[in-house]
Chain A
Amino acid sequence: MTDVLLLISRSLRNSLRTPAALLPNVAISVFFLFVFNSGLSSVAGLPGFKGSYLAFIIPVSIVSASVGGAGTAGQALIRDIESGYFTKLLLTPTSRLALVWGPMVAGAMLLVGQVILILVLGLALGLKTAAGPAGLILVLLFAFLWGMAFAGYAVFIALKTKNGAAAEAATFAFFPLIFLSTTFVPKEYIGATWLKWAATVNPTTYIYDAMRSLLIDGWEARPLLIGLGVILAFATLTGSLALRQARRATQLG
């Protein structure tokens, strides 16, 4: 456990030492917030649309930020593999789980920092949360867990490919996850059947639903439980893939 904390703090410190790598992520999520909120806010005027468009689009900004957070974790690991420092860590008696969790948790923590920034901006723009401050804390928790899930994927790819360009390319897998969903309009307004179907199978939809329910409807058990279940399932999947790959590192050479 101490080892995990040591490795998390080392990863965080390294990220803060390369602020240039963090800025694009922040910029992208702020971009989502401003551009879509001002450009698409008339969607909120559609009959049957509940709440403000700002509350609707903020989860998109948060989820897109989690892609950046995951990318940070993956890239940091690639850097360690390329510099040979990862081998140094492998040579210590620490558990392989700690080696995988260090960058993952650090990435998710950076994401939480970024989400706090997004929420503060949102509040300044007039965001009202139906579930109140505790709801915002829960939004942060969702963001953290979703960040862990994405970071698990990024760490898995990093360990598998050991190649910066390949890991970068693999993060493109996130784009359909973000956009083939109820990204800009609620499901009932999606016209194309295929997109409706994609939104239904896309786990991100349920993260959007959970966060939106907190911001727009208040405390509703159903979307929150479904959202949490989806996140935990996804995080367990990517986390175990990452761990398995870390354990196999010695077999593969």
Chain B
Amino acid sequence: MERDRRDRSVVTQAITRHFADVRAVDGVDLDIDSGQIFGFLGPNGSGKTTMVKVLTTILAPTAGTARVGGFDVIADQAEVRSRIGVALQEVGLDPLMTAREMLVLQSRLFSADSSASQSRAERLLRTVGLDEIDPKKRVGQFSGGMKRRLDLALALVNDPDILFLDEPTTGLDPVSRMAIWEEVRRLNEDLGMTIFLTTQYLEEADRLADEVAIIDRGKIVAQGVPRALKKEIGNEVVTLTFSSAETAAKAGAVLEKEAQSQQLSGRDLLCYFTAAANRLPGLVRALDEAGIALEGLTLNEPTLDDVFLRATGQRIAPREETR
């Protein structure tokens, strides 16, 4: 297979991008192997989109170097562009054109001839399930979901080696989200595409990605295989909830020696263990003796949020903080 010998890696060294005095991306090193699904995880405004724009040549880095598919994003822009597909978070569609017109034009701008572009457009419309719509319908009349599917089709028009998806599932319902996951896996497994996917959803990175990097305020705070990252902080996590953050801090001091490691987050105290079940009575007793009232207790496996929490002292998605 000729395809398998292609360089489909993404390698960056100290990529930095400033906007005025804001360091949106600050010295990011990545080394993504050919054929991986790479999850770039981080909260809103952490620099994910800026990084995608730098890697896809639409934003020049302030400093650092990046090679995508073996080509430099500054010196060999046209080479990089011809090898990548990009679906940004905000779809980029012309409301006055039809889906076919847009696919054919995009394909021709990637140097395919007219008849190849026509058949490619038909094939991609089938792939994303837009082949049964009225061919005269302009994109301005499409629903949000249809626009997103067309945008994905446009990203695939040049048969890319590396596909960049910037928050492809943000705002989607669970069923559509699953459909996107399926499609991402299919593109990766059947066509061998490297997939660079940004997300603010922990579960998405966890379930889909072979490897993840977690970014916060422009800096990488953790990087590796999801399972290994989680294992580093323990196999199980006990979340203890108290009436206030102060009480939680007090409890943290009391339980300092009990857990493998611990982390405060608001009214919650998270304790990490290799095996937690047999430690629970001891925890509760220690709190009781110190006269600290417990409001809630849960036992879970660590998630990437725990990895993020340990690295930054905050949760990725504050709204996921329940109880």
Do chains A and B stick together as partners?
yes
List residues of A whose CB falls within 8 A of some B CB.
2-3, 6, 10, 13-14, 17-18, 79-80, 83-94, 249-251, 253
Q: Of all chain B residues, which has the CB nearest A80?
A: B94
- Asked if residues B109 and A3 are in contact (CB atoms below 8 Å), the reply is yes
Task: Indicate if B90 sits at the interface (CB-CB under 8 A).
Answer: yes
CB distance from A8 to the nearest CB of B (A): 12
State which of B78-86, B126-134, B259-267, B314-322 sits at the interface with chain A: B78-86
What residues of chain A lie closer than 8 Å to B154, measured between beta carbons? 88
**Cβ-defined contact, A89 with B109, below 8 A:** yes
In the assembled complex, the CB of B109 is this many whole angstroms from the nearest CB of chain A, namely 4
Give chain A nearest CB distance to B10 CB in angstroms. Answer: 16
Q: A17-B138, A85-B92, A250-B59 are in contact. List 7 more A-B contacts (CB 8 A).
A: A6-B105, A10-B105, A14-B96, A79-B94, A85-B93, A91-B56, A253-B53
| Contact between B60 and A251, CB atoms less than 8 A apart | yes
- A residues near B223, Cβ cutoff 8 Å: none
Nearest B-chain residue to A248, judged by Cβ: B60
Q: Which residues of B contact A253 (CB under 8 A)?
A: 17, 19, 53, 59
Q: Report B109-129 CB contacts with A as 1/0, cut-off 8 Å.
A: 111000000000000000000
Given contacts A83-B92, A87-B92, contact A250 B57 (CB under 8 A): yes
| Interchain CB contact under 8 A, B82 and A93 | yes
Complex Cα spacing A155 to B77, Å: 23
**One of A3, A91, A251 near B81 (C-beta < 8 A):** A91
Given contacts A90-B58, A251-B60, contact A17 B109 (CB under 8 A): no
Query: How many whole Å from A244's CB to the nearest CB in chain B?
Result: 15
Given known pairs A84-B90, A90-B58, the reply for A18 and B19 (CB within 8 Å) is no
- Complex contact B60–A84 (CB within 8 A): no
Question: A142 CA to B261 CA in the complex, in Å?
Answer: 78
Known: A88-B92, A250-B60. A10 touches B19 (CB 8 A): no
Is B86 a contact partner of A91 (Cβ separation < 8 A)?
Answer: yes
Q: Report yes or no: A93 in contact with B110, Cβ–Cβ below 8 A.
A: yes
* Nearest A-chain residue to B24, judged by Cβ: A253
Whether A93 contacts B111 by the Cβ 8 Å rule is yes
Closest A-B pairs by Cβ, 10 of them: A84-B92, A92-B109, A93-B78, A88-B92, A85-B94, A93-B81, A14-B96, A94-B109, A93-B82, A251-B60
Within 8 A of A (CB), among B86-107: 86, 88, 90-97, 101, 105-106
A14 touches B97 (CB 8 A): yes
A107 to chain B, nearest CB (A): 16
Q: How far is the CA of A219 from the CA of B111 in the complex (A)?
A: 45
CB distance from A63 to the nearest CB of B (A): 28
Closest to A87 in B: B92
Given contacts A250-B59, A253-B59, contact A92 B110 (CB under 8 A): yes
- The chain B residue with its CB closest to the CB of A15 is B96
Are the C-beta atoms of A88 and B108 separated by less than 8 Å?
no
Q: Which single residue of chain A is at the shortest CB-CB distance from B94?
A: A85
Cα(A37)–Cα(B110), bound, Å = 51
Alpha-carbon separation in the docked complex, A220 to B104 (Å) = 48
Closest beta carbon of chain A to B53's beta carbon, Å: 7
Give complex CA distance A92, B105 in Å.
10
Specify which of A14, A92, A249 is in contact with B94 (CB 8 Å cutoff): A14
Given the interface pairs A88-B106, A92-B81, A93-B109, the reply to whether A17 lies near B96 with Cβ below 8 Å is yes
Q: Contacting B58 at CB < 8 Å: which of A2, A79, A91?
A: A91
Q: Are A250 and B110 in contact (CB under 8 A)?
A: no
Residues of A with C-beta under 8 A to B93: 83-85, 88
Contacts of B59 in A (CB 8 A): 250, 253
The smallest C-beta distance from A173 to any residue of chain B, in angstroms, reads: 27
A contact residues around B96 at 8 Å (CB): 14, 17-18
- CA A90 – CA B60 in complex, angstroms? 13
Give the distance in Å from the alpha carbon of A79 to the alpha carbon of B57 in the complex.
Answer: 22
Question: How far apart are the CA atoms of A192 and B125 in the complex, in Å?
Answer: 66
Residue contact B108 to A6, C-beta cutoff 8 Å: yes
Taken residue by residue from 143 to 157, chain B's Cβ proximity to chain A (1 for < 8 Å, 0 otherwise) reads as 000000000001000
22 pairs, A vs B, C-beta closer than 8 Å: A2-B108, A6-B108, A6-B109, A14-B96, A79-B94, A83-B94, A83-B95, A84-B90, A84-B92, A85-B92, A87-B92, A88-B154, A90-B57, A91-B56, A91-B81, A92-B109, A93-B109, A249-B58, A250-B57, A250-B58, A251-B60, A253-B19
Which chain A residue shows the least CB distance to B90? A84
> Using Cβ atoms and an 8 Å threshold, which residues of chain A touch B106?
88, 92
Residues of B within 8 A of A90 (CB): 57-58
User: A89 → chain B, closest Cβ, in Å?
Assistant: 7
- A89 — which chain B residues lie within 8 A by C-beta? 109
Bound together, the chains give a CA A86 to CA B58 distance in angstroms of: 11
Our pick among B19, B58, B97 for the contact of A87 (Cβ within 8 Å) is B58
Could you tell me if A10 and B60 are in contact, using CB atoms closer than 8 angstroms? no
B74 smallest CB distance to A (angstroms): 9
Query: Closest approach, in angstroms, between the C-beta of B228 and any C-beta of chain A?
Result: 34
Kindly report which residue of chain B lies nearest to residue A250, judged by CB atoms.
Answer: B60
